[in-house]
Amino acid sequence: MSLPVTHKIDSVALRNIVKRFPGVIASDHVNFDVKAGEIHALLGENGAGKTTLMRILYGLYQPDEGEILINGKPVAIRSPADSIQLGLGMIHQHFMLVPTLSVAANVALGLKSSRGLLLDLEVVSQRLRALSETYGLRVDPDAMVWQLAVGEQQRVEILKALYRGAALLILDEPTAVLTPQEVDELFVTLRRMAAEGHSLIFISHKLHEVLAISHRVTVLRNGRVVQTLNTAETSRKELARLMVGREVMLRVERPEVQFGAPRLVIKDLWVTGDKGLPAVRGTSLQIRSGEILGIAGVSGNGQRELAEAIAGLRKPTQGQILIDGMDVTGWRPEKLILNGLAYISEERFRDGVVKDLTVEENLMLEQHGHAPFARGIFLDFGRIASHTQEMIRDFEIKTPSRQTPLRNLSGGNIQKLILARELTRKPRVLIASQPTRGVDIGSTEYIHSRLVAQRAEQTATLLISEDLDEIRNLSDRIAVMYEGRIMGVLEREDASIEKLGLMMAGVSVESQESG
Amino acid sequence: MIADLFAANVIIGILTSGIRLATPYLYASIGETFGQLSGVLNLGVDGMMLMGAYAGFYVTFHTGNPWLGLLVAILVGALMGLAMAFISVTLKAEQGISGIGVYLFGLGMSDLLFQKTLGTVETVSGFAPLNIPLLSDIPVLGTVFFSHNILVYGAFLLVPVAWFILNKTTLGLKIKAVGQNPAAADALGVSVARVRYATVTLGGALAGLAGASLSIALLNVFQQNLTSGMGFIAVALVYFGGWTPTGVLLGSLLFSSVNALQLWVQILGIPIPSDFAVMMPYVLTILALIFAVRKVNQPASLSKVFERGEG
Ligand SMILES: Nc1ncnc2c1ncn2[C@@H]1O[C@H](COP(=O)(O)OP(=O)(O)OP(=O)(O)O)[C@@H](O)[C@H]1O
Ligand SMILES: [Mg+2]
């Protein structure tokens, strides 16, 4: 089956686009273009206006000023229906799938059926199989979407666009949720599409990805284009500087600290996962005060369930969790929080924040019943204002005001808000799951420095991340989790990429040494 | 005395009226199913039923033509559905509250019109029983299943039709997608507003039809608050039925059978205080909602306003 480009797009150009939101100019006279066969990367800090610009192109927002040209001719894009008609497709930062429907039904949604008013899911499935064959996008058309892993869901999103014959594909942070192997596979697909004449717009915070995949890069800062460069003529350092507006350290300073007694102790922990099977199988760990223990491993190997069990969101079926010697197994989250536990969840929208509350309300969420936010049963609004203002300043949270609904913040700023809330409580134990996923390099640098600074505060930190660089830069010791078990714990100095890689594939330390 | 309930003619009677009485519930709750699947919780069903019942009755009373009455009832219901869609989709009002508003409007308006135009309780000869040739001659089964008026057959026919629309057509797919993830549907060019207008208007039309089935087919009278809350039961039946037409059918039958049983208990003069007897179906509804609802099918965006660009 050959390429279904039903639309011919030679070039797409955005001219002088302006978009204002209450308190911010998200796009400030932006010029941007992409040609057939080109992969054009869009780079910028959290809140720089990347998603906004792409939503304008896709017809989800209307620009206040400016125009869009396709093949040199101005076009009106009033809704996604228009842009699909014109041959545009978008993979959204947060997936747009209907979990209760099958893959084929998700693809067929909104399309004309070959059988008139009746659904033609068999036909769709068949074409879908052919398409996934062509592009190496493995997915079962009859599977229900809720059963799919994130990587598979993303393939469905790409197939949805390809199926509609999209000639231009916008990918908004497609790699944020993928494992390194999946990123490699995605890149193969993207290169193939470009070679066949598709235009691609690629958004990512990871500079090495941008350098590896794109032909040109446009850097946005505060809604404005800083510069458009040829990828071949630039470097990681230059891009980082353009993005952040200053030199960025790509490595954190780690002062030596004296570790204390074990603060978080986990003994033979068993936790059941969503599918009803044990996800954590007899894990034992110890983290001393002042220490960061990193857990590496491909996600889905029990890391999330481990974190949720410690945070009191999931009851362990067996085993013990101790904080400073006190048995806290099965405690409610509220009680754990009062006893010095802080949790940065990887599911930031589900477990981390309330989208419909304001920035201020989210900042006081966990402690609204206590000083400094409350006096007796009353909220102390004066203290709340000064305290939250301080948190916003200290953690460089970019928001128009304290009263802005949280949903209007960009992803990275939401993450900084969670960090601000969790760290200002001076936690004894901190669980940080994927703390910088989808976060720009400036904020990543900042979050990393705050996590390292917690060591001096004697916090015991459990850091869970799929990003091996992050784990190796921050951790004092590194454990690898595989199929619910700890494959071994390495001292920072011994943790070579090779050793970690083998452990992530299920080879334990002992067998590496004996073999 | 209780033993009287087990006499053959009584059992046949209960089954027959169980099937008859399921009619208004079926129309109303299948209509509501469409709306809820697309994400709109319409609590105004009962008001729409009352308006449909009144309009159908009034037209039939004056023209003697129940078909004309039926048509007007459907139109009136559709119009109220359109109003509900306008309030909840275009004006983005809170659905629960606006539904109650629509109910109160229908309750008051139908009574006002009744007082002004009829004044007293009259009767009409609505739809007559339609014995299906051959089938209605089968002993027992014939009486129970095949000697009802046409609206009863229509209600049961609606179940497979609704199932087919929801599962086999592109419209059905749009309805379910819009209810589960409106942003996703919107991003694929599906108009969330248009789908919701369609389902809520259809729901209104079916509610009007449900009302008419009472006033010109089953009871052949109209009076103040004729439905006495049936529309709310219909909403509950949608939950009970797990948002599927077959589930709704099951719920409607269960509910109407208990209702029929309750009527026969009164007719036979079995010494259970009549208040308790009347309460039975409602208690059953509450119990069923507590124990039988499978929330898994619940539309994720039920009663949430959709605005593009959020979320
Ligand atoms: N619907 C909205 N209403 C109000 N403000 C908004 C809305 N959407 C975005 N913004 C604001 O516009 C700015 C740009 O946001 P945008 O989501 O485009 O950033 P981004 O570059 O995609 O960031 P990230 O990397 O975190 O995804 C931010 O300041 C954000 O708070
Ligand atoms: Mg974004």
Q: Is a pLDDT exceeding 60 seen at residue A90? A: yes
CA-closest candidate to residue B213, choices B16, B31, B56, B46: B56
**Position B305 in a domain:** no
Q: Would you tell me which residues 131-150 of chain B have a C-beta closer than 8 angstroms to some C-beta of chain A?
A: none
Q: What is the DSSP letter of A257?
A: -
Mean pLDDT value across residues A323-334: 93
Say yes or no for a CB contact (<8 Å) between A80 and B183: no
Closest CA of chain A from B180, distance in Å: 6
Mean pLDDT value across residues B158-169: 97
Q: How confident is the model at residue A1 (pLDDT cuts 50, 70, 90)?
A: very low
* CA separation for the pair A100, A121 (Å, rounded): 15
Q: Is a pLDDT exceeding 60 seen at residue B311? A: no
Q: Output the pLDDT for position A6.
A: 59
Mean pLDDT value across residues A327-344: 92
Q: How confident is the model at residue B294 (pLDDT cuts 50, 70, 90)?
A: low
CATH of the domain at B111: 1.10.3470
Mean pLDDT value across residues A63-68: 96
pLDDT (tens digit, 9 = 90+) per residue, A416-437? 899 999 988 889 999 999 998 8
**Position B302 in a domain:** no
Q: Is a pLDDT exceeding 60 seen at residue A484? A: yes
The bridge status of strand B129-131 relative to strand B147-149 is antiparallel
The residue ranking higher by pLDDT, A355 or A41, is A41
Total tally of structural domains belonging to chain B: 1
* CA separation for the pair A430, A366 (Å, rounded): 15
Interface check for A61 against chain B (CB to CB < 8 A): the answer is yes
Instruction: Name the closest-CA residue to atom 18, ligand 1.
Output: A49
**Position B45 in a domain:** yes
Mean pLDDT value across residues A395-402: 88
Report residue A274: phi and psi, to 5°: -60, -30
Q: Output the pLDDT for position A2.
A: 34
Structure tokens at A506: 């299920």
pLDDT (tens digit, 9 = 90+) per residue, B67-99? 999 999 999 999 999 999 999 999 999 999 999
Q: Is a pLDDT exceeding 80 seen at residue A66? A: yes
**Position B50 in a domain:** yes
Closest CA of chain B from A98, distance in Å: 6
Reply yes or no on domain A11-96+166-244 having CATH 3.65.10.10.
no
**Position B165 in a domain:** yes
Mean pLDDT value across residues A234-257: 84
**Position B126 in a domain:** no
Instruction: Name the closest-CA residue to atom 28, ligand 1.
Output: A47
Q: What is the ipTM of this complex?
A: 0.88
The bridge status of strand A326-327 relative to strand A65-70 is unpaired
Interface check for B165 against chain A (CB to CB < 8 A): the answer is no
- What is the residue extent of each domain of chain A? 11-96+166-244, 262-514
Q: Where does residue A279 fall: left (phi above 0), alpha (psi -120 to 50 degrees), or beta otherwise?
A: alpha
Interface check for A19 against chain B (CB to CB < 8 A): the answer is no
Closest CA of chain A from B248, distance in Å: 20
Long-range contacts, stretch A420-424, CB < 8 angstroms, 24+ apart = A420/A363, A420/A391, A420/A392, A420/A394, A420/A395, A421/A362, A421/A363, A421/A364, A421/A365, A421/A366, A421/A391, A422/A342, A422/A343, A422/A344, A423/A342, A423/A450, A423/A454, A424/A391, A424/A394
CATH topology match: A11-96+166-244 vs A262-514: yes
The DSSP bridge partners found for residue A89 are A169
Mutate to test the pocket of ligand 1, among A25, A52, A61, A441 (most ligand atoms within 8 A of CB): A52
The residue ranking higher by pLDDT, A389 or A375, is A389
Q: What is the DSSP letter of B221?
A: B
> Which residues of B are less than 8 Å from A109 in CB distance?
173-174, 177, 184-185, 188, 190
pLDDT (tens digit, 9 = 90+) per residue, B27-52? 999 999 999 999 999 999 999 999 99
Q: Is a pLDDT exceeding 50 seen at residue A367? A: yes
Q: How confident is the model at residue B261 (pLDDT cuts 50, 70, 90)?
A: confident
Q: Is a pLDDT exceeding 90 seen at residue A387? A: no
Instruction: Tell me if A405 sits within 8 A of A169, measured CB to CB.
Output: no
Q: Which numeric CATH code is attached to A262-514?
A: 3.40.50.300
pLDDT (tens digit, 9 = 90+) per residue, A102-135? 999 999 999 988 888 999 999 999 999 999 998 8
